[in-house]
Amino acid sequence: MAIPDDVQEYVEKNVKLMISQTETYLPFIKIAFPYSQNLADGVYNLIIGSALSVFVNQYAMRMKYPSAEDFAEFGRLTFKYREQIDKFFK
């Protein structure tokens, strides 16, 4: 079962919004967390955690549950943003 197109669209819009907000707050993030060994990992995890909530909520609104395959597809869908986030911290 593939992720429905509208669910995928909601997730990607959420990720893109969070990435744009990260870019805006980047100076603050770098100053606020000076001892963090890998800010990119922390920011990526925060963004994907938010996207996961959107993903699950979209299924819940349809009174459905995502399958293991849907979660795997979610992982592939969101992983493509990893490099974009890494670039902020290089």
Q: Summarize pLDDT for 24-61 with one digit per residue, the tens.
A: 988 888 888 888 888 999 999 999 999 999 999 999 99
Q: What is the mean pLDDT of residues 7-31?
A: 92
Measured at the alpha carbon of residue 60, what is the angle toward residues 59 and 65, in degrees to the nearest 5?
Answer: 60
> How much is the pLDDT for 29?
87
Confidence category of residue 84, pLDDT binned at 50, 70, 90: very high
Which amino acid, 5? D
CA–CA dist 43, 61 (Å, integer): 27
Q: What is the pLDDT of residues 56-68, one digit of tens each?
A: 999 999 888 999 9
Instruction: Give residues with Cβ within 8 angstroms of 19, minimum separation 6.
Output: 47, 81, 84, 85
Phi first, then psi, for residue 62 (nearest 5°) are -95, 5
* Residue closest to 86 by CA, chosen among 21, 19, 24, 32: 19
